[in-house]
Structure 1
Amino acid sequence: MLVKIVERVKEFSLPGKAGLVVILVVLLVAILAPYISIHPHNISSGPPLVPPGGGHPLGTDELGIDLWAQICYGARVSLLVGFGTALLAALGGGLIGIVSGYLGGWPDKVLMRLIDIMIVLPDLPVMIVLAAFFGPSLLNIILVLALFSWVFPARIVRSQMLMLKERSYIKSAETYGAGVWYLMWKHFLPEVFPLVAVNMIRLSGRAIVAEAGLSFLGLGDPTSKSWGLIIHHATNFKGIYYTDFWKWWLLYPWLALIIMVISLAFISRELERMVDPRMGR
């Protein structure tokens, strides 16, 4: 299994390999946050608004909290929200797509109309309302983001199912008495999993940006120290753009967010090319 993964990674283009390296570095930073951050991420450890250097590699914020420690722990929040949302949305949307495509008839029509409604809804305003209603916690944010993300894998999996169920080996299995669960585990899931995996990577980047947006608007978990929340506190500081504070307080979390999302986009592009070789032509 490991050999196959390594062989697949070797097929990545240079941007894809760079994106994979960045995500692995972010993952290590999130795991090793207590060991690589000298100072705590939630209490003051020095004078306020200290520029980068000395005991604070990326400087401090207005409360004297080390910015490097906040970014290290913020990586945990971004990964948790991104992959947690993607996992819930991909599993839920994938199962709905399988059921809709295989059964057809009125269940398919009902589910497709629901998907159409979810697509035309303005997701950001509704997410803001729901996040404000349910309260600022990471679990609520993940659930709200997953609620607006499952439609994309559902549509893709449904379209794949419409082709799969007409294939001869599926018809033969049904003739010999194969049930829905047997077909799902033995035939449907192995066929649609690559598509779901690609969507998970894409949804992870989307969820990370959405969480940062909600935190920027003050609707994120105030105890999480996410990258969006750091940017929220920085932009709310009076005169931030009339001073040099933005050069570290605002710039570094913004760069971390942008680099991570771009890296996920590169990886998603490489996986799409592997799933659909026509993209590489």
Structure 2
Amino acid sequence: MLVKTFKHKWKSSGFPLKSLPGFLSKLSWSGTAGIAVILAVLLIAVLAPWIAVYPHNLSSGAPLLPPGKEHFLGTDELGVDLWAQICFGARVSLLVGLGTALLAALGGGLIGIAAGYSGGWIDKLLMRLIDIMIVLPDLPVMIVLAAFIGPSLTNIILVLALFSWVFPARIVRSQVLMLKEQNYIKSAETYGAGTWYLIRRHFLPELFPLLAVNMIRLTGRAIVAEAGLSFLGLGDPTSKSWGLILHHATSFRGIYYTDFWKWWLLYPWLALMLMVTSLAFISRELERIVDPRMGR
């Protein structure tokens, strides 16, 4: 029922191809603000080489300059422009967030389909694996894995995806258990449709809206997790992510006894909070479309 409701709402809204303005007019102020912020971050990430006047990895002024005309967000302890670091850090956050979400949603979706459609010992084995992954303390294990396999963006994405696929897998499995009992699925099986044909032509199109909602949620979770790992010094040291900026700032001796935190800590923290909050707003809006009862 949930999948049918989402599919109907998704199509009736015209999103994303037919009537985008009509869909946007149905959004609440929080959803509209969230989309606006994410679009702004995307533009900043894409246009970073042009809107960042100074390089993000080279000194361009005196150390620890406060915000002013030349460096309007100030500089860090090496004299590197903070605005340039935030612009290029947006690329890292989006890359990690979207990469983790795509990998986790695709892998978790396929695992959920296999568990729900196959049933039997395959379903039991995969569900026990999901239960184990859920009860594992993800942050300590992620810290150990990140330290063991080395600091790089690819490794961070793989580690984050390893602990993120269980959420879409559980949701997809529950929906596949319902979908496989539908008459059109039974008819396709009667006429000799194979498993991969059913997955490609029936299950994935039906489940894509649910996976899209989960991807947005996973994107925000991955951005926060990457910032946490970078804050602990386990991120890619060459990436200049927002978490790495915070790590360098908090590692500076006496940061809280000076005024440096007012720009060195505050601005990357605000950028991180704005992005994660905006993703949460967008996810909430799509959840409202999935389940109209949430709007009551």
The alignment's TM-score, normalised by the length of structure 1, stands at 0.98
Q: Does 1:8 align with 2:34?
A: no
Partner residue, 2:238: 223
Q: CA deviation at 1:175?
A: 1.3
Q: CA deviation at 1:9?
A: 2.4
Write the deviation string for residues 106-129 of structure 1: whole angstroms up to 9, x where unpaired.
Answer: 000000000000000000000000
CA distance in 1, matches of 2:155, 2:20: 34
Partner residue, 1:163: 178
Q: Does 1:38 align with 2:53?
A: yes
- Find the residue that maps to 1:3 and give its secondary structure: coil
Q: CA deviation at 1:183?
A: 1.3
- Bigger shift: 253-262 or 163-172? 163-172
Q: CA deviation at 1:55?
A: 0.9
Partner residue, 2:223: 208
Q: Does 1:133 align with 2:138?
A: no
Gaps of 5+ in 1: none
CA distance in 2, matches of 1:54, 1:137: 35
Partner residue, 2:276: 261
Partner residue, 2:191: 176
Match of 1:27 among 42, 47, 57: 42
Q: Report matched runs for 1:144-163 at 5 Å.
A: 144-163=159-178
Partner residue, 2:124: 109
Q: CA deviation at 1:182?
A: 1.8
Partner residue, 1:90: 105
RMSD of aligned Cα (Å):
0.9
Q: CA deviation at 1:70?
A: 0.2
Partner residue, 2:11: none
Partner residue, 2:211: 196
Instruction: Give structure 1 regions of 4+ aligned residues with deviation exceeding 4 angstroms.
Output: none
Residue identity matched to 2:190: T
CA distance in 1, matches of 2:207, 2:26: 21
Q: CA deviation at 1:194?
A: 0.6
Q: Report matched runs for 1:233-248 at 5 Å.
A: 233-248=248-263
Q: CA deviation at 1:164?
A: 0.3
Identity among equivalent positions (%) equals: 80
CA distance in 2, matches of 1:182, 1:223: 43
Residue identity matched to 1:5: L
- Bigger shift: 171-180 or 254-263? 171-180
- Find the residue that maps to 1:208 and give its secondary structure: helix
Write the deviation string for residues 65-101 of structure 1: whole angstroms up to 9, x where unpaired.
Answer: 0000000000000000000000000000000001110
CA distance in 1, matches of 2:275, 2:111: 30
How many correspondences in the alignment?
281
Q: CA deviation at 1:191?
A: 1.0
Partner residue, 2:65: 50
Residue identity matched to 1:101: G
Residue identity matched to 2:125: V
CA distance in 2, matches of 1:110, 1:136: 32
Q: CA deviation at 1:219?
A: 0.2
Gaps of 5+ in 2: 1-15
The alignment's TM-score, normalised by the length of structure 2, stands at 0.93
Residue identity matched to 1:71: I
Write the deviation string for residues 102-159 of structure 1: whole angstroms up to 9, x where unpaired.
Answer: 0000000000000000000000000000000010000000000000000000000000
